[in-house]
Chain A
Amino acid sequence: MKVNNVILQFTTKIVFFIIFFFAVHIFFAGHYTPGGGFVGGLVTASAIVLLLVAFDLKTVRSLLPINYIYMVAIGLLIALGTASIAMFVNEPFFTHFFDYFYLPLFGKTSLHTAALFDFGVYLVVVGVTMTIIQTIGEDE
């Protein structure tokens, strides 16, 4: 029994990107305004869940051929690696570095290793959420 979900699927195609970019936004804005890796990750995951609701598991998997468990591992490695950088330059573990740079497109921008760490958090949160939902979803 396949219900015709044209409206839902069409809306999803648009809304997915809105949610995703909102997630990216709150991820990057996290250091100065509310948001950050955790919430950003959750919102990204919710965007993917929306895809799952509108289409089915198989379609979403072919759209986003991601192994979320690898994603969790990569996220953890990035977080740990960022924290370890400081040790190579004789600073205590988990010392962050930041400075202002002139980038070609963005102009004067502050770059912070904390953002890298937050990216690790982001990946782990997306990975874990999607792992849980997909695993439960596949289970009969």
Chain B
Amino acid sequence: MLLQVVCLFIPLIAAIFMPFLFKKIRNIHTGWFVLFVPLFLAIYYATFVPSISKGETAVVQFDWIPSLGISFVSYIDGLSLLFSLLISGIGALVVLYSIFYLNRKKEQLHNFYIYLLIFMSAMLGVVQSDNMITLYLFWELTSISSFLLIGYWYNRDKSRFGALKSMMITVAGGMMMLGGFVLLSLMGGTFSIRSIIEQAPLFATNDTFVIALVLILLGAFTKSAQFPFYIWLPDAMEAPTPVSAYLHSATMVKAGIYLVARFTPVFALSEVWIWLVAGIGLLTLFWGSFFAVKQTDLKGILAFSTVSQLGLIMSLLGVGAIAYHVNDAADTVFKYASFAAIFHLINHATFKGSLFMIAGIVDHETGTRDIRKLGGLMSIMPVSFTVALIGSFSMAGLPPFNGFLSKEMFLTAMLSVTEFDLFNFSTWAPLFPIIAWVASVFTFVYSFYFVFKTFTGKLQENELPTKPHEAPIGMLISPVILASLVVTIFFIPNLVTDTFVKPAVMAIQPFLYSSPEDVHIHVSAWHGFSPELWMTLGIIVVGLLLFVTLSKWQKYYNTLPEQFTLNRLYDFTVNELLGSWMTRFSGLYMTGSIRNYLGYMFTAIPIIVIATLFIKNAFVVSFEGASPIHLYQIILIFVLVIGTITTVYARSRITSIIALGAVGYTVSLFFVIFNAPDLALTQLVIETISVALFLLAFYHLPKFQKVEERTRFKFGRVFISVGVGVMVTLVALSAHSQKLVTSIAEYYKETVYSLAGGGNIVNVILVDYRGFDTLFEIAVLAIAGIAIYGMIKLRMSRKEKNHESK
């Protein structure tokens, strides 16, 4: 059944054909061709449902880099099947919606559908990969395709800003996640998530365990828009609405949820995991719902609401991890948490997808998404209103919609936290249900705010850019299907939970349940007068109260100054810290002055070399085998030193040049007394030529700057040059004092005549023993000669050309 792996790539393969279809078949909207892909995938994955819901799994492996243990593994269990169905199912609905949303003639549809198909592949890969490296691969592919989709209208500034922001944040998190994966694979010796889960109990004592945990959580939190990384999601609303509906409500933002759920069996034993996942999730839930009421843009409300709902699911997963720490977890209340998380995930995908589509319809038919201009659309757009009402009520957690069921379970799970007494939970646990309740109240308020401010009240027809009317029927199909799902799930929740949720819960808590039937949870709309019910009643009463008085207190949001928001922090980081501060910092040392760069080099080299010399105990001075010093040598050294000092201290440059010549000739005299006639000859001629060239350069110095001036004394420079001198001296002394191998000169002496037929060892070495070097030295000479020729001649020819053009 290789098909299972091939299916991951079907959207990618289909993407290749999109430009041809778009260019060649102009009369049919390209989306119709695309529609087949998610439809096929949805039907294909639906065939897995019977076996997976019994608790079986399906694994197919395709080796990619076997030597490194990297392979494409399509591992389908309850969790990944649920996500795959969401991706392909909602994918199909979104494609259908986009066919009517995007204009065939005005939009670059081939781009849009290519990005969308890449995204679909990537997302399927994320949820089905069992190999952590390929999981990371697909993960980054979702970031990239999401970047492209958000920036789809690339000639708008805001689109580009939003695309870049989401890219920066999610890719940064993805990198962290890769680090976590690598640490995990080092601990477990494999990239396979299944085998990591099997070995998980052994890891808890490992030093890097918590680091891996935090890194992977960073990846999940950035992708799932958790606090404080949620800031990219509201800006990503610049994308076309089908993209927002698909990526930023139903699929991509749930990749982080998937990751947390998938790795719960590995990390749930850690206290840090529970605190972080539950705590951050709850904070995000509150933060998102609190600020959603502030928004005036329809999609802005939905973005914050998505943030908040994701926080809700995340906190449930965190509480679900507690089940690993209590005995007989299958019989306690903690079993509800993971169940509720998965259940709410399904519900959220249905109602949020439909709400986004409605926001798109409103935008499309009225020309604006500004809630202050909207109102009174109820009678004009009755279908949209109905769908929006269903979606919003479900989001608020009202019966008879599926949001009610999962909201009840959420409250149950949060109340259960108070019974947990490990890890200092007894101190803080009472906060959990309180925050959850307050956040739910705000959720209620923004859900009502969204639907009633848009559809009821007075129609401000002159404020709207276009005359409002009901959307075409094609555009309404998808939201209506989703909305009917919202209602259906309320009435037959147990069919859905038995088929999808229980196998997924089994994947999250494999140590607790051996088959989906072991999950003894029965969802019912009516469960007696429990505390949850009273809390829900409280939410409704307080929420209604707040909604009615909304106009009185909404303005107080703006008392929180703009400077303290997280967007300000992001802007500061990107523009100030990475932008101008870094430029200023590199400006500090990248001065452009060669003198400075030489300073860095010549400071670093002596420090490194001298430090190494003494740390490694390599400094030795021994005069064993040194030759006696003759009077000639002393005289020559004296001349040499005088020449050198004159070169440095001379007042005029010409003195320096002459002194340098003197140094060169003295060196050739040294060659003479040290028995190197060839060197002496060459040195003599070369010194003459180079002094002549120096004089030439001196002669051509520009007149106006030819101020004769002694080299200025600077302590820093003297210090550096003394350092370099000391370094060379110390190294030379040490190198001379300890010879590890004997010289090979004896061999040359013995064989110079017998093997090479010569008498002058130096020359024979140059042309025979090591002629290779000589060959390339003359090549260097040739290059230098041609370079000088080129520099001078080409400059002249340019001058001539300029002359002609005048």
A residues sitting closer than 8 Å to B (CB atoms) are: 26, 30-39, 42-43, 46, 69, 72-73, 75-76, 79-80, 83, 94, 96, 98, 110, 112, 114, 117-118, 120-121, 124-125, 127-129, 131-132, 135-136, 138-139
Q: How far is the CA of A99 from the CA of B797 in the complex (A)?
A: 51
In the complex, chain B residues whose CB is within 8 Å of the CB of A26: 681
With CB as the reference atom, state the residue of chain B lying closest to A94: B771
Contact B759 A32 (CB under 8 A): yes
Contact B785 A35 (CB under 8 A): no
Given contacts A32-B758, A42-B685, A79-B775, contact A69 B764 (CB under 8 A): no
B residues sitting closer than 8 Å to A (CB atoms) are: 677-678, 681-682, 685-686, 688-689, 693, 696, 756-760, 762-764, 766-768, 771-772, 774-775, 778-779, 781-782, 784-786, 788-789, 792-793, 796
Given contacts A35-B678, A114-B767, A131-B785, contact A124 B759 (CB under 8 A): no
- Contact partner of B757 among A98, A117, A132, CB < 8 A? A98
Contact A132 B678 (CB under 8 A): no
Contact A124 B781 (CB under 8 A): yes
6 residue pairs A–B, Cβ–Cβ below 8 Å: A26-B681, A36-B766, A96-B768, A112-B757, A117-B774, A121-B774
- Contact partner of B756 among A42, A96, A128, CB < 8 A? A96
B470 → chain A, closest Cβ, in Å?
A: 84
Given contacts A39-B682, A117-B771, A135-B792, contact A32 B760 (CB under 8 A): yes
Given contacts A34-B681, A35-B681, contact A80 B785 (CB under 8 A): no
Q: How far is the CA of A129 from the CA of B772 in the complex (A)?
A: 22
Q: How far is the CA of A110 from the CA of B762 in the complex (A)?
A: 19
Q: How far is the CA of A31 from the CA of B762 in the complex (A)?
A: 9
B288 → chain A, closest Cβ, in Å?
A: 73
Contact A128 B781 (CB under 8 A): yes
In the complex, chain A residues whose CB is within 8 Å of the CB of B681: 26, 34-35, 39
Q: How far is the CA of A138 from the CA of B782 in the complex (A)?
A: 19
In the complex, chain A residues whose CB is within 8 Å of the CB of B686: 42
Q: Which interface residue of A34, A69, A118 has the most chain B CB atoms within 10 A?
A: A34
Q: How far is the CA of A75 from the CA of B655 in the complex (A)?
A: 38
In the complex, chain B residues whose CB is within 8 Å of the CB of A73: 782
In the complex, chain B residues whose CB is within 8 Å of the CB of A132: 784-785, 788-789
Contact A131 B678 (CB under 8 A): no
Contact A69 B789 (CB under 8 A): yes
Given contacts A34-B681, A110-B757, contact A124 B771 (CB under 8 A): no
In the complex, chain B residues whose CB is within 8 Å of the CB of A112: 757-758
A34 → chain B, closest Cβ, in Å?
A: 4
A30 → chain B, closest Cβ, in Å?
A: 5
In the complex, chain A residues whose CB is within 8 Å of the CB of B781: 124-125, 128
With CB as the reference atom, state the residue of chain A lying closest to B697: A136
In the complex, chain B residues whose CB is within 8 Å of the CB of A35: 678, 681, 760, 763
Q: How far is the CA of A31 from the CA of B765 in the complex (A)?
A: 10
In the complex, chain B residues whose CB is within 8 Å of the CB of A131: 785-786, 788-789
Given A114-B771, A124-B778, 14 other A-B residues pairs in contact with their CB atoms under 8 A: A30-B763, A34-B681, A39-B681, A42-B689, A46-B685, A69-B786, A75-B778, A80-B775, A83-B772, A114-B756, A128-B784, A132-B784, A136-B792, A138-B792
Contact B782 A72 (CB under 8 A): yes
With CB as the reference atom, state the residue of chain B lying closest to A116: B767
Given contacts A125-B778, A128-B784, A131-B789, contact A114 B764 (CB under 8 A): yes
A77 → chain B, closest Cβ, in Å?
A: 11
A55 → chain B, closest Cβ, in Å?
A: 18
- Contact partner of A139 among B774, B775, B792, CB < 8 A? B792
Q: How far is the CA of A43 from the CA of B772 in the complex (A)?
A: 24
Q: How far is the CA of A96 from the CA of B762 in the complex (A)?
A: 16
Interchain residue pairs A-B with the least CB separation, the first 8? A128-B785, A32-B759, A34-B677, A98-B757, A124-B778, A36-B763, A42-B685, A31-B758
With CB as the reference atom, state the residue of chain A lying closest to B771: A94
With CB as the reference atom, state the residue of chain B lying closest to A79: B775
In the complex, chain A residues whose CB is within 8 Å of the CB of B784: 128, 132
B778 → chain A, closest Cβ, in Å?
A: 4
In the complex, chain B residues whose CB is within 8 Å of the CB of A96: 756, 767-768, 771
Q: How far is the CA of A125 from the CA of B782 in the complex (A)?
A: 8
In the complex, chain A residues whose CB is within 8 Å of the CB of B696: 136
Given contacts A36-B760, A39-B682, A110-B757, contact A139 B796 (CB under 8 A): yes
Q: How far is the CA of A65 from the CA of B793 in the complex (A)?
A: 19
Q: How far is the CA of A59 from the CA of B237 in the complex (A)?
A: 81
Q: Which interface residue of B762, B772, B774, B792 has the most chain A CB atoms within 10 A?
A: B774
Q: How far is the CA of A79 from the CA of B686 in the complex (A)?
A: 22
A94 → chain B, closest Cβ, in Å?
A: 5
With CB as the reference atom, state the residue of chain B lying closest to A80: B775
Q: How far is the CA of A103 from the CA of B462 in the complex (A)?
A: 114
With CB as the reference atom, state the residue of chain A lying closest to B696: A136
A3 → chain B, closest Cβ, in Å?
A: 19
